[in-house]
Amino acid sequence: MKLKKCNSLQVAEKVLVELKQLFKKDLTGELYVESYQNGREQGLAIDLSGTPALNKYIAWSEARGSDNIVVHVCKINPCQGIMDGQLVASEYFKSVKPAAQYIYEMITGFRQLGN
C-alpha cells in the first residue's frame, strides 16, 4: 500500500523547501511553521505576530480550484480555517519560486501589501 500526502500539502512543502533556501542567504533567527486547513486547502503557515515585518500570519497551499499556489495573509492564526473577516490579502502564483519569493519578501519587509 502506498501512502500519499494530499496535493495541496505537497505543494506547500515544495514552497517551504524553496523558502528555506532563500532564508539561508542572509537572515538569522527562527520562524515557526505549522500546518493549516481551510476547507480543501491544506498547507503551511508562519506566525509573524511577534515580528515587526508584518504582524500577521502568512499561509500557503495549492489553491482549491486550480493548480495555482495561493498565499494568504491573515489577521489571526489560520489553523482553524480562514474566515472572511480574517483575510487581509491573497495572491496567486503559477509556480513554487515566485510564491516563495513573495513570502520571503513579505517576511523580510521588502514587500508591503499592495506592492
Angle at 33 between CA 27 and CA 38, to 5 degrees: 135
Cα–Cα distance list, 26 to 22, 29, 104 (Å): 8, 10, 11
Question: Residue 108 has what pLDDT?
Answer: 81
Compare 113 and 71 and report the one with higher pLDDT.
71
pLDDT confidence band for 112 (50 / 70 / 90): low
* Torsion angle, alpha carbons of 74, 77, 80, 82, to 10: -10
pTM: 0.82
